[in-house]
Amino acid sequence: MKPRTLHRSFLFATSVVLLAGMPALSFAQDKKQETLIVANETGPNMLDIQGVGANRPAYGVAWLAYDRLMTYGKKKLANGVQSYDFAKLEPELAESWQIAKDGMSVTFKLRKNATFHDGTPVTAKDVKWSYDRALAMGGFPTFQMKAGSLEKPEQFEVVDDSTFKVSFLRKDKMTMPDMAVPVASIYNSALALKNATKEDPWAGAWLKNNTAGGGAYKVASYKPGQEIIYERFDDWKSGPLPKIKRVIQREVPSAGNRRALLAKGDIDMTYEMPPKDFAEMSQEKGNVKVSSVPAENSMIYVGMNVTKPPFDNPKVRQAVAYVLPYDKIMQSAMYGRGAPLFGAKKPVTGTEWPTATSYTTDLAKAKALMKEAGMEAGFETTLSFDLGQGTVSEPMAILAQEALAQINIKVAVNKVPGANWRAALLKKDMPMTINRFGGWLNYPEYFFLWTYHGQNAVFNTMSYQNPAVDKLIDAARFEGDKKKYAQDVKGFIDIAYAEVPRVPVVQPMVDVAMQKNIEGYTYWFHLQPDYRQIYKK
């Protein structure tokens, strides 16, 4: 047996032992209709969506263990996949709401029979405390609230135990949908405050490893880096009671092992697989099916920190954009799964987003730009990526490293563990990154507000600043005239693509592989599986 084969066999055997070692939860034996067994690449680094540095899997915890006032409706896509419907808001914790006649406030009526997991009734005081907390935590949760013009505690009013009012600072199309995203989760304030301290008044330390929610599922067990187990909350009143009673979500970093476990029927579902595996599984005949949806408002890109020479020179950034091996990345890293965001033949028109740049692989142009920048001799730098997304990012990094060497840019590749990636990214000190970003609210100006705006945008990890871009983003957010809105959007896209602080590469697919008896999978903007709709036929 070859050494690599031996190594893979050992990994697979180890994973099976780990998975089968859970008491009464053997993957080979547990085939109950009410239990769902999931394996993924990386899990939540904390249980608190409002905690600064919460990673993408933590979004899934919030979605299941907590409620929001509202949720989104559902729709069927052209390929038959069920998706959330961004255009339709529906009741969740709030049974109804009323917009004021002047359009400057909304009043929610809460479900009077709703309780948290410990049996405490949910009241408007909990809603206000949760919204106040999101504003107070700083970083991502605070910025998310402000993206919907939810900026001041004074906007949130407890009318009575079951009535909650939000006053609007301005007419903003993002305000209502912003109250249906994971950050706007409702916490059990009494429970959280029991675990708060003078130094930690919002119980941030305790909530990293504990939940205080009232969502459809309770977190029965959380072992960071290993597994999270959910159990259904049978007293949940904010929607149809899920058919799945228990979800075992275990981290199995090896994609090959997850694919083998799925093929054997030892797990019900997996995601975060390499595009190659999804491409192959979608063509295979057997007990596995693949659901695929283009990720809305999302891209995989190469970012450059414009505060760090020589990336403060736009000609150097353009040179990088012209030397990246786009076709090779699409073939060898993406296996054709995703929409290319390069090689556009026509200029940007309208408000479609994401849209392709005009950059293509052109070594001669890249070399000429490096010469114009006075950097013909090249330089050394570091390209960092999230190891938790390594199935795509690692081959992409290797291809970029080889291509950049052609214009004398010597690149050291830095692999950052998935649990640490968000914190590393938000320090904004890495010179080059491969990253994936997706905007929850499906507007181009929302994406740019997070990633290009110069006024403390959380995910503007390139530290890019251009007052003209900021002005256009701000104008688009509140513009009511469709023609002027389209001009604003085109304006900020054109400038950003010309100055290219980040190089868009591909709009990725959201792929999930599951047993053929699994039904009800729904695509959500936060990209995490929603087990509330899933069932086994």
| pLDDT tens figures, 147-172 | 999 999 999 999 999 999 999 999 99
Angstrom distances, CA of residue 203 to CA of 119, 190, 222: 20, 11, 18
| pLDDT given for residue 20 in this prediction | 46
Q: CA–CA separation, 351 vs 301, rounded Å?
A: 20
Give the count of domains, the chain: 1
| pLDDT given for residue 177 in this prediction | 97
| Residue from 56, 523, 506, 55 nearest 299 by CA | 506
Would you say residue 29 has pLDDT above 50? no
- Give the pTM: 0.87
| pLDDT given for residue 418 in this prediction | 85
Reading the block at residue 28, the tokens are 């080979």
Q: CA–CA separation, 37 vs 11, rounded Å?
A: 19
Would you say residue 17 has pLDDT above 60? no
Q: How is the beta sheet containing 105-110 ordered, strand by strand?
A: 94-99, 105-110, 163-167, 156-160
Q: Which residue in the block uniquely carries the two structure tokens 């009013």?
A: 157
| pLDDT tens figures, 213-223 | 999 999 999 99
CB distance 506 to 262 below 8 Å:
no
148 lies in some domain: no
CB distance 188 to 30 below 8 Å:
no
| Residue from 48, 68, 152 nearest 440 by CA | 68
Calculate mean pLDDT across residues 311-330.
98
CB distance 174 to 147 below 8 Å:
yes
Q: CA–CA separation, 197 vs 41, rounded Å?
A: 35
Would you say residue 27 has pLDDT above 70? no
pLDDT band, residue 52 (cuts 50/70/90): confident
Q: Express as a percent the part of the chain with pLDDT over 70.
A: 94
Would you say residue 345 has pLDDT above 60? yes
329 lies in some domain: yes
Task: Identify the bridge partners of residue 251 per DSSP, sorted by sequence position.
Answer: 40
Would you say residue 25 has pLDDT above 70? no
Range in 40-54, 393-407, 487-501 with the lowest mean pLDDT: 40-54
| pLDDT given for residue 286 in this prediction | 87
When computed from its CA atoms, the radius of gyration of the chain, rounded to whole angstroms, is 24
CATH classification of the domain holding 465: 3.10.105.10
Q: CA–CA separation, 341 vs 334, rounded Å?
A: 13
Query: Which stretches of 119-165 are DSSP H helices?
Result: 124-137, 139-147
| pLDDT given for residue 133 in this prediction | 98
Calculate mean pLDDT across residues 482-506.
97
Q: CA–CA separation, 63 vs 124, rounded Å?
A: 20
CB distance 399 to 329 below 8 Å:
yes
**DSSP assigned state of 59:** H
Would you say residue 19 has pLDDT above 70? no
pLDDT band, residue 11 (cuts 50/70/90): very low
337 lies in some domain: yes
| Residue from 199, 190, 183, 195 nearest 150 by CA | 183
CB distance 172 to 478 below 8 Å:
yes
Q: CA–CA separation, 179 vs 91, rounded Å?
A: 11
Q: Which residue in the block uniquely carries the two structure tokens 């491969």?
A: 434
Residues 6+ apart with CB under 8 A from 17: none
210 lies in some domain: no
Q: Where are the beta strands (DSSP E) in 366-507?
A: 379-386, 409-416, 432-438, 502-507
Would you say residue 34 has pLDDT above 70? yes
Residue 232 Rama label (left phi>0; alpha psi -120 to 50; beta):
beta
Would you say residue 200 has pLDDT above 80? yes
Q: CA–CA separation, 36 vs 514, rounded Å?
A: 11
Reading the block at residue 222, the tokens are 């959380």
Would you say residue 261 has pLDDT above 50? yes
Would you say residue 247 has pLDDT above 80? yes
Angstrom distances, CA of residue 382 to CA of 35, 248, 308, 386, 464: 44, 38, 12, 13, 18
User: Hey, what amino acid is at 473?
Assistant: I
CB distance 422 to 55 below 8 Å:
yes
Element holding 533 (H helix, E strand) = none
201-237 burial: b if 16+ Cβ within 10 Å, else e: ebbbebbbeebbbbbbbbbeebeeeebbbbebbeebb
Q: What is the CB neighbour count within 10 angstroms for residue 341?
A: 22
Would you say residue 252 has pLDDT above 80? yes
Q: What angle do CA 530, 536, 537 make, to 5 degrees?
A: 135
313 lies in some domain: yes
User: Hey, what amino acid is at 107?
Assistant: T
Q: What is the mean pLDDT of the chain?
A: 93
Q: CA–CA separation, 269 vs 515, rounded Å?
A: 7
**DSSP assigned state of 25:** -
- Identify the three-state secondary structure at position 236: coil
Calculate mean pLDDT across residues 435-445.
95
Range in 262-266, 283-287, 291-295, 312-316 with the lowest mean pLDDT: 283-287
pLDDT band, residue 8 (cuts 50/70/90): very low
Query: Would you tell me the crossing angle of helices 482-499 and 314-323 to the nearest 10 degrees?
Result: 90
304 lies in some domain: yes
517 lies in some domain: no
Q: Containing domain of residue 395, as a range? A: 298-507
| pLDDT given for residue 198 in this prediction | 96
365 lies in some domain: yes
Calculate mean pLDDT across residues 76-96.
96
- Whether residue 242 is preceded by a cis peptide bond, meaning omega within 30 degrees of 0, is no
Q: CA–CA separation, 137 vs 463, rounded Å?
A: 22
Q: CA–CA separation, 327 vs 505, rounded Å?
A: 10
